[in-house]
Structure 1
Amino acid sequence: MGRRKGGSAAGMGLLIVLGLIFAALSAVYRFIVENLAAITGFGTVVGLLLILWYLFSKLEGQKSSVAERPLATQQPQIQLLSQRGYVEPLVQFGSRARSAGTSGQTRWVAPTETIIVQGVSVAGGMFYLGTALSFEGREIDEYVVNPELSAKSSRPDVEGTSMPYWPSYAEVAPAARRAFLEWMSTGRRAKPYGIGHVFLYFYGLEHRVFADRDVGNVPALIAEVDQLLRVYGDNGSFHGYATHFLDLARCAAGLPLPVPEPSADTAYAAEMGTAVRLHLGRRLAQSAAILSEDALIWVLALPDVYLRTAAVRCFDKFVPLWHLRFRSRFPEGLRVATSGNIDLSYRAASGAFEVPVDGPHRDYPDVTKVKTSLEPLRQLVQECTDELDGFSRLLGRRPEARNSVQAALLLPEDLLAETVFEAVREFGQRLSEIMGGKQLASTKMDTVLRLANFELPDSGKLSPAVADQLGQVLDRLDIAIEPDRRYGGGVPQPQDQVFLFNAPGGGPVDSERPAYRSMKAQVEVAVLAAAADGEASGEEIQRVIAGIKEGVDLGGVERARLISFAITIFNSPPKQARVLKRLADRSPAERATIAKAAVAIVVGDGTVQPDEVRFLEKLHKALGLPKEQLYSELHKAVPRSDEPVAISIEQRQAGIPIPKEAPVPTPDAVVRIRIDAERLARAQRETAEVSELLANIFEEETPPPVETVAAVANASAFEGLDQSHTELVELIELKGAVPKLEFEERARAMKLLAEGALERINDWAFERFDEALLEDGDEIVMAPHLRERLSELRETA
């Protein structure tokens, strides 16, 4: 029942729709019948208008076609502007002799022509105009400018964003064509235009050279591509294709290729460049051995060789280092064998064709067909790069340090000797001025650091690494420095005294050689012994120098280092505990020699103080020697007096024994000893010979005579003061002030009157500084601001 009611409703709806349609059709019919005349007139008018529009458009097309017909069939509509200054009729495509690679509807536009395409005037030619090119039975229209294709656009695609990777004039959008024609009309060098427009033009040039084989015009086409490369060479893709074009175009025309130059900017390429192949092939045709220069060109052109950062950043050092290492490893060159000669073919960047290239290169061996292993060359690149790592890291942190002395330290020694490093040369000149042409000079460490343009540490403390770096630079200048940590010395701090002297290679010595090691220990102990009583005199340093001179089995450089070492530690004595601790591992013979040298220094001035005896006791304990031996040595070293010993007023009594000999000195006793005249004379003669020591000290290493240098111990540091007055000045300089009683005792010891010495020193100071150096009173005080002036005088001396 329900279904019967639904069916009746659907039928009723259908009847209603059909009725409405019938009524509408009836109304339309009645309208047409009633207005038939008017409708017929309106249709006639519309038809006439459509016919007229069609005829007008056909007429416009015929005019355009006529404008592009050969001049033989119509009057010229466009004229060609010749580069020679006169006007000649425009020769349209198809009217000239065609090359083998052009079709009947396409021609090559010469550089002297001007063509109007789609309303754009293009001068300079050098492109194909028409519909398509025919090459080996195929039609090519990718780089043919077809004047029938639309190039109308209100917004030309200047950047070429609508162009595909391989652009085709026949397929790109009108906006891209418009931009291409405008680029051609503006001289083809405008940078804002995208690289797609450049490639579209380039495709035609390569077709002209390699497909049409227009040999006569190849130089002009090479020049054009070379100019394009200068403008658009920053594009990697175009750079590669244009470079390949230039190389093979020159081969095709028989023109020489430029000789390749090693470069750190060699771009990655899947295969070796043509210029490199031809250059190396020509070399191998002359000789089977490749030399250093050509080997570097070869290895840098290998597709699987990449230069690391150190080689790229320091390429100016990498190249000479390569030559040094290659010539050392292959003194007669690297002999090379190949399996064939060079075959070249040109594959167009457009992908439209590939053709073989003929030329004399066919007679050259091809290094891409090498049978000799190139692994030694690859390994040599890595080794040279590794040697420059330190230099490269410094430049990475401090680019301005490229030509600094510290940078020079990080280069291999033979490379530094091979190349002129300006900073090192200037440092050597400044040192020569300091040394004044002498064999030896004394100055402060910070002075040497400043001459080398080393950065002084902010902490004020010099690190061992910086001291070693300075020593390495001096080695290359054939100058030795002492103290030198590398040869057993300490690290001199900025205000410490150092000695510089000429010595080949920086005067290297074996600091562990027994003779040198033993003498150095004797010098250290002798200095401690001399300073045990609180002061060290010039006579004591003279005795130490004389001992070094008499040392057995010592070379000239070793003596120079030991003398310089002795003077520096006399000025700044080492820590007693540190020195004594190092003596424990000495051999029995060395320990005995060291102890004997210390005793000789103590007794050399004719007196033995309690502090000196205590020091000798500590020394013997550190050396593992008995104290009895010390007292015995002191007894032997003390000369007997030739005069009677006054005991007391004689009062003869029975049974009173004869006085015994004077007892051996004890730590708390002060022994006054009369100096043996003969022995003193001998010591003075030995001291006088020291002045000749430094002049002759390099006799073994340097045969030519050198200017004699005054002995350091005998020469006064302050010109105008003798040695005795100089020692008084240095005593007060060291302490700043001394009690007047001590000053008087020291003056008497030097056989000077205290007041006279004070006056003499101040007179000298007035001549130098226009003021007194020492102030008299309960203490003798040195003017603080003049102490630096004394240091300058000492350096100058």
Structure 2
Amino acid sequence: MELFLVALAMTVLYRIARALFRLAAGRRERESREKLLKDAETGRPGTAEPARWFGSMETPAVNGYSVPGGLVYVGEKLLDYSGFNDPCLLNPSLRAVSGFSPSVPLPEQRLHYGKMTPEQRGAYLSWLAGGRNDPDAALPYVFLFFYGLERRLMVDAQRGAVSPEERADIVLEILRLLQIYGEHRAFRGHAANLLAMEWVLWGIPDDRPGYIDFTDRYCAEPFAAVLARYASLDRPIPAETALQWLILHPEQGLKTPARRCPDLFRKLFSLRYAEKYGEGMVIHPNRTPLTLTYRAATPSLGDRLRIRIPGLPNPFILTAPVKKLAALAAGCADDLDGYSRFLARGGSPESPEAAALLPAELLTGAPAGEAVRERLFRLCGGNPSMTDTGKILAVLGQTPPPKMNRKRAATLADTLGSFNFGMAPDPPIHGFPPSHDGRIALFSPRAVPSGREEFDALTALIRLGSLVAQASGEASEGERRVVEEMISSSDALSPEEKRSLFALALWAFSVPQGAAGLRGILEPLPEETKRSLGRILGTIAAADGRVDPGEVRAVGKLYGYLGLDGGQAARDIHAAVSGTASSARSEEKEGFSLDMDLIRLRQEETRHVNGVLREIFSSAEENALPAQEAPERDDILAGLDDPHRKLLSDLLKRETWRREEYESLCATLSLPPDGALEILNEWAFSSAGAPLAEDGDPVFIDLSLAEEVLSHGQQKDENPAP
């Protein structure tokens, strides 16, 4: 029984082994048949004829089709990285059927010449034979041809098998294809990447062709070589290149305003980049060598083809420079956010509202800026003309403030300057703001003085002269012309600087001027300087050829500030009149005339005392002094007694006071209204170089100036020395 069971088991095992053997043999046979079929289809090694590249001057023939312009591989064997035939290979041994249009869609999974149907091969060959210019051709056919160009440059050229002339032919062919099929995003990106890589590998570094487009994200890798060259040579990186570094960086991105308003964002970034880095940021080379990863369109090169660039560092591993650029770009985008949202809501880019939302740097050249510039020109025609700031702010799409203080005036002046318009007075240029009623002189172009000495002296003289001229109730044309002649005869000023001063003279002689703060400045002056100032003021007062009692009193008051004899004021004015009276009478019918010798004399005296004049009317900002230790709060108020301190405290509660309210405050403190305001203005001038209050009805209080003055003492208290 046992022997029987053993024999049965052996028989079963034998039959199982034989079945397994037959199964394995059948599998090997099937695999062999499939392999033979694949080899026949794709031209895997064996006795197949090696492929040949045909240049642009050759016309190969494939299955009865002629391919003009070449630039294709033809043959039976062209291996890719996996050991199979390259998809781009035109294999004449594979059947192609004619009569099918290349515009018939082709599934992307069939994007391999050896795997196409005979009908699809015929359609592809007909596209090649037609010059590769059918705009209706299916995009996969274009890519299949592009695969061959890609292999030729990235494989054969790397081995030195491609001449510069042939590379140039391939570049021209890619550019031609882009003109026909460039609307397709994927093809445009891969073509741009191949063109950029070809230039990086073989082009002249300092001669970038115009067709290279590093704004395309497909070109991030070749762009790294451009950036690396700046680093290796310690060259400043231009703003455009720095921004592109940020855009193409894999860990960075741009905010919505930058994408919605790309042109304005690029301009703003370039301006602020230049302001911060001058010619450009400099990054120093690191020790990591640059290896570019070429992401090919053709599957024959694999997912990534790595190309090492000798002698160049890898800048994309640096984090600190990118963070700085990202912060700068974020700030630009944030400043464009309001404008961007305005456009998103359907607002017009040419409206004043749009201009009001733009950063000042962008007003020039933007549609909104051009519209505003045209409206501003209609207000003044380019020549100095008096206007209200309310009208200007309306043109800019801004709401007029309750009053025009120093900070608001400086902001307005800078905004007008961005349109190449100027205003007088201009706080950054003339050193003081306009009066609280907001009237200014508008003109074009704005001019920043190249030399301050003569300009500042004449600026202060204009204010002193207008102060004297208005003492009679209304300034005369002759008195204004004295000042204008001094401006015109200056050889040290440019025409633009003179226009700025003419505008200031127009404003100063049109708007009532005040003398607040003069006493404390004029009293300490040297005697010779005081006498020169007195003669200048006398000349202006006498400019109309007559002596007005009001002008004599005004000059006498200024003489008192100068510590001069008040009676001398009348004598100086009469002396000046005697020098102009004959000329005035002789030209009475033809208009007012001036004694130019007298003008030149007074101009020399003006130059002599220009430092004093500059000090009288220039602002603290324009004459920045070295930082000094902040005074104590009590020291700041030391010039005020208790009633005036209480008045100051009450006035700082709001910006405007009706005249009767102000007088009521003074009455409760037993203070004379006019004298109290003059004392407060003298106090403000001694601390900040500007008046605290503007007399009238209503009375305006400069709260920002008071905050600035009082904050000095607070800073000292809050930050005691260790």
* TM interval, short-chain normalised: 0.3 to 0.5
| Higher RCO (C-alpha under 8 Å, 6+ residues apart) | 2
Greater Rg by CA: 1
